[in-house]
Structure 1
């Protein structure tokens, strides 16, 4: 991790801790102490295990999608790259920093960069489609599943802004992906920024590699629409399982605190919060996420408990990712330092 990444990491953690501190100071009273005393730690352990199960589904999704293309990626290598990506996602706006890590780690399994990029892009496209559909459903269902009071206009406005931003990105990405010449042009322009001082022979070679890579990238996309479509189908099912696990964590914590799980309403809350977190405002949406969770969950649990609830939720969904990401990243660095190769399942 370079100095810039460390800076973003500390900013992200600092913002998160600052907001959590303000929240707990504003909501702490004798009822908070009672809630802490009555907290069932086994539910916290269950919530963490479900979170790790989500990571497992993610790793299996990568293995299956790569297998459908003819590449055998080891499961534990896939799981490690998913965990390592969570550290980078925690310090990047919109949490998009994990993709380069996964592309790099897939490349280390002797998978061409173009194919690795295609797998990672399709992963994100599947999640984006599910997210957009889920958020539209959630915003439509919100008045039905919650009718016990008013929600602040700022949260609804933020939710719609996040939805518009996320949907816009999805539309632009799909539009661009449909035009291979445009992708080549953009890739060559970006590559040109790094080739200004190179000799013409080397520039020509790199240009040829870029064009070949883009062609391979689109050929892989065609495979997912053809003989590899079974990997796409299973990948979509695993994506649903992944998010079902992640969105159940909050309900498990609610039960651990002695409150009803409110499963449907909690899922609606989290889908709306997810698009708010997509707004590129802070590294890893730190601060934004905490405020959004407080704003929504204070509608169904007492203010004296909401701060504790958000702290527990962020420990599992955010701080544990940073810790696990550090461990996974260390294993990658250790492997690279020892110049070890990734041994595929068919080796």
Structure 2
């Protein structure tokens, strides 16, 4: 046991880092969120909204709570079923604290980089091997990306008027082409990983020859690229060979999770008494979510609010835009982060870790 405690302490240090860095990241998230909301108000007009009592009507509260339960439940089950598909054993109730830990950590780290590390770290604490944890979290993320990247051009093709007018519409149509290129690249990585590894190795070799990087670094990065592309392909091979029932359940849970996420704004607009085209809203949010995958800020703060407003402005009154933007982020992100703070405190306190 003593031999195991020291590596774990070092691992904890690498994961959590210095408290000051986390404080700065949280303050950055809050600050950028405020900047984003202020920019929405300035760019798209409309007064600063007061709270609308229609959002707390009994039937609306019941609907929102139902959406939240499905949203968080599907989020946990999609990882659980992926783990079961690749043969990892974990009890279902142990997954759900990870839902909120992931929401918290991924939203206070740039490009959501901390979420993956936190999930692997947590799963290891509950008896899941590191390799299986990395494979499962990667597959869970890629399944969501595949559905999002497939949905956006498909909705654009089947329902061409689903996009907002003006710049947002042009952006949506352009993104459909980018998404298809991205999907093609994914398929190459999945089925011909050595092609990508060979290409990147040549690029790194060229960079080393012209002096952009050192020879030793070139070798390290080349080995890392080959290893990661092979592991990525192997992870999906394990998933494809696993239980079809669990694999189908993972895809279904991912689909339910995304549909709930995309439908939240439609629910809010309907509660505010507007005529809502649910397909139009869901299609628009699939594009907004796609864009958020590339936001460099913690949790997409600032960027998410502006992207949402830019694509949804044509679908609601200007005076209600800021309220809907905040309510959307509050329900899908802020509540989960607040619960994540509490769950993280209990999950990672010394007594829990020792157990």
What TM bracket, shorter-length normalisation? 0.7 to 0.9
Q: Is the 8 A contact 1:277 1:285 kept in 2?
A: yes
Q: Distance in 1 between matches of 2:84 and 2:55?
A: 43
Query: Structure 1: where are the runs of 5+ without partners?
Result: 187-195, 197-206, 342-347
The residue matched to 2:348 in structure 1 has which SS? helix
The 5 A counterparts of 1:44-55 are 44=61, 46-55=63-72
- Give the stretch that moved more between structures: 42-51 or 101-110: 42-51
Summarize the Cα distance change of 1:274–1:221 in structure 2 as closer, same or farther, 3 Å threshold: closer
Q: Is 1:126 matched up with 2:143?
A: yes
Give, in angstroms, the shift of residue 281 of structure 1: 3.2
Give, in angstroms, the shift of residue 273 of structure 1: 0.7
Q: Is the 8 A contact 1:139 1:272 kept in 2?
A: no
Aligned residue in 2 for 1:36:
52
Q: Distance in 2 between matches of 1:219 and 1:145?
A: 38
Summarize the Cα distance change of 1:48–1:228 in structure 2 as closer, same or farther, 3 Å threshold: same
The number of aligned residues is 311
Summarize the Cα distance change of 1:323–1:11 in structure 2 as closer, same or farther, 3 Å threshold: same
Q: Is 1:56 matched up with 2:73?
A: yes
The 5 A counterparts of 1:192-231 are 221-231=236-246
Q: Is the 8 A contact 1:15 1:286 kept in 2?
A: yes
Q: Is the 8 A contact 1:12 1:284 kept in 2?
A: yes
Q: Distance in 2 between matches of 1:113 and 1:214?
A: 17
Summarize the Cα distance change of 1:44–1:92 in structure 2 as closer, same or farther, 3 Å threshold: farther
The 5 A counterparts of 1:140-159 are 140-141=157-158, 143-145=160-162, 151-153=165-167, 155-156=168-169, 159=172
The residue matched to 1:97 in structure 2 has which SS? helix
Summarize the Cα distance change of 1:45–1:283 in structure 2 as closer, same or farther, 3 Å threshold: farther
Give, in angstroms, the shift of residue 296 of structure 1: 2.4
Query: Structure 2: where are the runs of 5+ without partners?
Result: 1-15, 202-215, 217-222
Aligned residue in 2 for 1:298:
313
Aligned CA-pair RMSD: 3.4
Match of 1:279 among 294, 297, 303: 294
Q: Is the 8 A contact 2:162 2:284 kept in 1?
A: no
Match of 1:327 among 334, 337, 342: 342
TM-score with structure 1 length normalisation? 0.76
- Give the stretch that moved more between structures: 253-262 or 303-312: 253-262
- Comparing both chains, which one has the higher relative contact order based on Cα–Cα distances under 8 Å and sequence gaps of 6 or more? 1
Aligned residue in 2 for 1:81:
98
Q: Is the 8 A contact 1:81 1:102 kept in 2?
A: yes
Give, in angstroms, the shift of residue 86 of structure 1: 0.6
- Give the stretch that moved more between structures: 101-110 or 126-135: 101-110
Q: Is the 8 A contact 1:65 1:232 kept in 2?
A: yes
Q: Is 1:109 matched up with 2:126?
A: yes
Summarize the Cα distance change of 1:69–1:293 in structure 2 as closer, same or farther, 3 Å threshold: closer
The residue matched to 1:280 in structure 2 has which SS? coil
TM-score with structure 2 length normalisation? 0.74
Q: Is 1:6 matched up with 2:34?
A: no
Q: Distance in 1 between matches of 2:156 and 2:230?
A: 40
Deviations 1:164-223 (A, max 9, x none): 77666655555445447959x99xxxxxxxxx9xxxxxxxxxx9xxx8x99988665433
Q: Is the 8 A contact 1:103 1:117 kept in 2?
A: yes
